Structure 1
Amino acid sequence: MTGPNIAIDELRSLFLFEALTDDQLGWIAERAQVRTFDAGAVVYRADEPAEALWVLLDGRLRLTRTADGEEVPVNETAHRGAYAGAIRAFTAAAPGIYQSSMVTVAPSRFLRISADDFSTLMHDWFPLAVHLLDGLYLGIQNTEATIRQREHLAQLGHLAANLAHELNNPAAAAVRASAQLRTRVAGMRHKLGLLAGQRIDPELLRTLVTVQEAAVERAAKPREPLSSLAESDLEDALADQLSDLGIPDAYALAPVFAGAGLDADWLAEVADGLAPDAREGALRWLAYTVETELLMDEIEDASTRVSTLVAAVRQYSHLDQAAHQEIDLHPGLDSTLVMLGHKLTAVQVHREYDRELPTVPAYASELNQVWTNLIDNAVDAMAGRGDLWIRTYRDGEWAAVAITDTGPGIPDSVRGNLFDAYVTTKPVGQGSGLGLDNARRIVTRRHRGELSFTTGPDGTTFTTRLPLPPGVEAAATEQGRQT
């Protein structure tokens, strides 16, 4: 409730105002209000418009912030003259909302000075202080901006290194297979020349072509991969069989046939259809043919992998798409996993996607930064080895993304202010403490969503909730009524 204006003597007894003149104290007394609250009352809430500076006259106050859906105390005091609220109303970079919530722990009395009056008195009475504090706040903002930019560049460099590693493997495989393919094609030309020089029987040539096509078709069919022991046994059996047929260097041909899924029965069938003096040339020609097909498959797989990575980069960056649009969350999560693939080599990734999850209005590339930070932190928490669950689901009017690791959990000492700038659980030099702060800003300010976490000795889950378009909820309700 509202009480009478405060007496000048009581104002002077507060350390904030003890050096002011009678005229200045009178100016405040005319404009300020005294307000009383019972114990447990909410004076103001975080994210509400910062309309006033509150000064404690008597009682006890507590400042809290929301973490994981709970109000976490950040300060509690009964010190007379303690102040909170719109304390930066006089600065050029004043936040327009309260940064925390204030509740009373005991019956309390406050002096309420409107943000506009507080700004006026600071500019009129303490212009030098205003300039100094403006410069201080601006310097802090510039420092934060620089560090955030460096953090972002470091993250981009990290992703670029991962991408380079992921691209290098298929590119190297394609180069290696291309060089081997050139050698095998040259060998095929040589064998074809030898066969032509021997004036081979046309019927035998037709038989070789038929066997060649059958071998290629059989090699192309999908099959269950063999264990290392089974594959070694197959190679030994084929090598012994080739040696019995009088084929020199049988242990060089056997791995080729085994790798294509060609077994002893196939080899026996082919050998029975060839004259003894034609077996060696024919089987080597078939080996070149089969190996050529395997090398072309390897080149195709490597090229497809490169194409997939490039597509993931395009999906991750959204360079050729509108900045803000309604998106399916799953492609962004998948492209982020591809971008971080090098860090996930020893991590088992479990995707539990709700494919019926509606699209959400979002800045897709910024959300991908959130996924990158949360997944990267999860992998670091597990020291690069463990299980990672990514789950999407609908939570009422929200689309939810939960990212869970099997790490040791977040220490109690940082849980209350984990989303604050410069707070990190990583060793010195390995984290700036701005990743989660940036993620929270993107989720809460850019998307009007929520970012929370639960943690324990068995792991941690970060849950991002993004608001669904209003029409989606209405459509779902109407559909439920019709059903």
Structure 2
Amino acid sequence: MSGQPMPCDAVELSTLFLFEKLEPEQLARLCREGRVEQFEPGYVYQEGEPATCFFVLLEGTLVMSRRVGGDDVETTRSSQRGVYAGAMQAYLTAPEDEVRYKGSLRVTESSRFFILPAETFAAVMQEWFPMAVHLLEGMFFGGQNAQRTIGQRERLLALGSLSAGLTHELNNPAAAAVRATSALRERVAGMRHKLGAIAAGPYARDTLETLVEIQERTADQVAKATSLSPLEASDREDALTDWLDDHDIAGGWELAPTFVQAGLDTDWLDQVAAAVDEQTLEGAVRWLNYTVETELLMNEIEDSTTRVSNLVNAAKQYSQLDRAPYQVADVHELLDSTLMMLAGKIGSGVKVVKEYDRTLPKIPAYPSELNQVWTNLIDNAVSAMGGEGVLTVRTAFDREQLLVEFRDTGPGVPDDIRGRIFDPFFTTKPVGEGTGLGLDISWRIVVNKHHGHLEVHSVPGDTRFQVFLPLTAADPDTPQETS
């Protein structure tokens, strides 16, 4: 908005800390090319408007703010004469480049400003302070390049850590499947040998049919076996061993654990004994033992390959491979895939508790970038707890938005640094262990990309990072829902 024009006084400008070292002819030029305006309470300029002017407060009170989601968040409030705002980096850009205000400026009382057009501000800076401009350019663009380079490096380090964790997680079920396959080959060979011996033995046709029927029921029983407590399993093993010893079957202590794992008991052995005579009982039991072992090994192979498949699906969900970058997503699926990918890094010393509100709707988002936010926050929580504690991941409906909260039992964030943790390059980790960009990147993804906001609340033993995301799209894009 425009203010009421007022005369410019070079002497008044010379009393401001910003201009106190200028020569009289320089002050005269500022008054000649600039202007003084009086503004009543309200906005002087708003975020996103073309940055056309450089403002210096002569008297009054100003408030600077940034737009976060649907709210204006105050960043600065001052009544100090000489504080400045607006097109502060005009001297860093070419005249034809359109730069916009990165925040809003308003006044809470009638206030006077000295206003310098952006192009004039750029010209006088370059003419009067050429060395300073070069230094500032170097700091500004160098800082940007460093942030970009370190950000890329941090992503690569995170990718390497995730790859190592995924490889470790895949190795266990893959190795288990290989071992089970090798053992299965031996059991099938033994079953073929035992079947040949039974076929050549003195079994009647109806006896063989009964044994085959028992074999089928046994296979079904293995698939339905329930887990027993250690005490229950021990008692059943003792009972089965006693039964086998009573029927003169050698090595009963070796057979009993397999039968117990399959959910079989002495009643099942009684059915086998009733189907054959005493001379062929041991051969029938050992043949059925091969059946049980074969079924158990196939269950192990199925569990292992299912685990591998789940890990691959989690990796695809985490990376959002072959999916649109902007889509309607279920945050619970994103959280689960991230937790699975980070399982190796989280370790066994951290207990993960999920408190999900499954009634929450899917939201329009950039899933791969939200996964990066989850990764940064989980990694920080695990690091803060030193690898031991409780990590609680909670979702809820809060303030008309979807809340994702990460709560850890670490020592907390000290009050004196809490306001700086989202600043670029600020880190509390030892040198070489953190770049200080994780929370800055998370802030920009949540606030700038998703128009949400990120908060931290911390006391020793209870630190909570809260991510608030809008339920509806803030962009004109129409996201595609994918499965």
Give the structure-1-normalised TM-score: 0.85
62-71 vs 265-274, greater mean Cα deviation: 62-71
395-404 vs 206-215, greater mean Cα deviation: 395-404
In 1, Cα distance between equivalents of 2:404 and 2:7: 51
Quote the sequence identity (%). 51
> What per-residue deviation string (whole Å, max 9, x for no partner) do you get for residues 322-361 of structure 1?
1122222222112111111221534333333333433322
What is the number of equivalent residue pairs in this alignment? 467
SS in 2 for 1:145: helix
In 1, Cα distance between equivalents of 2:149 and 2:293: 55
> What per-residue deviation string (whole Å, max 9, x for no partner) do you get for residues 92-150 of structure 1?
3997444697988x998653434343223224544554344323321111111111111
The one-letter code of the counterpart of 2:268 is: W
> What per-residue deviation string (whole Å, max 9, x for no partner) do you get for residues 432-479 of structure 1?
2110100011111112221112222241222222223369xxxxxxxx
Per the TM alignment, residue 23 of structure 1 is displaced from its structure 2 partner at its CA by: 4.1
Matched, 1:402 2:405: yes
* Equivalent of residue 371 in structure 1, options 365, 371, 374: 374
The one-letter code of the counterpart of 2:471 is: L
Map 1:388-399 to 2 at 5 A. 388-395=391-398, 397-399=400-402
In 2, Cα distance between equivalents of 1:379 and 1:179: 38
SS in 1 for 2:289: helix
Equivalent residue, structure 1, for 2:163: 160
Per the TM alignment, residue 73 of structure 1 is displaced from its structure 2 partner at its CA by: 7.3
Map 1:320-469 to 2 at 5 A. 320-342=322-344, 343=346, 345-395=348-398, 397-469=400-472
Map 1:243-322 to 2 at 5 A. 243-322=245-324
In 2, Cα distance between equivalents of 1:295 and 1:338: 25
Per the TM alignment, residue 298 of structure 1 is displaced from its structure 2 partner at its CA by: 0.5
Per the TM alignment, residue 85 of structure 1 is displaced from its structure 2 partner at its CA by: 4.6
389-398 vs 279-288, greater mean Cα deviation: 389-398
Distance 1:324 1:61, change over 3 A: closer
In 2, Cα distance between equivalents of 1:102 and 1:18: 26
Contact 1:404/1:462 (8 A) holds in 2: yes
Contact 1:86/1:98 (8 A) holds in 2: no
Per the TM alignment, residue 196 of structure 1 is displaced from its structure 2 partner at its CA by: 2.4
Equivalent residue, structure 2, for 1:91: 92
The one-letter code of the counterpart of 2:240 is: L
In 2, Cα distance between equivalents of 1:149 and 1:4: 50
* Equivalent of residue 4 in structure 1, options 3, 6, 14: 6
Per the TM alignment, residue 399 of structure 1 is displaced from its structure 2 partner at its CA by: 2.8
Say what the alpha-carbon RMSD is for the aligned residues.
3.4
Contact 2:6/2:38 (8 A) holds in 1: no
The one-letter code of the counterpart of 2:409 is: T
> What per-residue deviation string (whole Å, max 9, x for no partner) do you get for residues 61-105 of structure 1?
888889999978789795x6454554322213997444697988x
The one-letter code of the counterpart of 2:378 is: I
The one-letter code of the counterpart of 1:87 is: M
The one-letter code of the counterpart of 2:90 is: A
In 1, Cα distance between equivalents of 2:74 and 2:16: 29
Distance 1:350 1:35, change over 3 A: farther
Distance 1:359 1:31, change over 3 A: farther
Unaligned runs of 5+ in 1: 472-483
SS in 2 for 1:248: coil
The one-letter code of the counterpart of 2:293 is: E
SS in 2 for 1:433: coil
In 1, Cα distance between equivalents of 2:248 and 2:37: 105
* Equivalent of residue 175 in structure 1, options 175, 178, 197: 178
347-356 vs 63-72, greater mean Cα deviation: 63-72
In 1, Cα distance between equivalents of 2:55 and 2:79: 13
SS in 1 for 2:170: helix
Matched, 1:239 2:241: yes
Unaligned runs of 5+ in 2: 475-483
Equivalent residue, structure 2, for 1:476: none
SS in 1 for 2:91: coil
In 2, Cα distance between equivalents of 1:425 and 1:74: 25
Give the structure-2-normalised TM-score: 0.85
Contact 2:458/2:464 (8 A) holds in 1: yes
Contact 1:333/1:371 (8 A) holds in 2: yes
Distance 1:49 1:5, change over 3 A: same
Equivalent residue, structure 2, for 1:204: 207
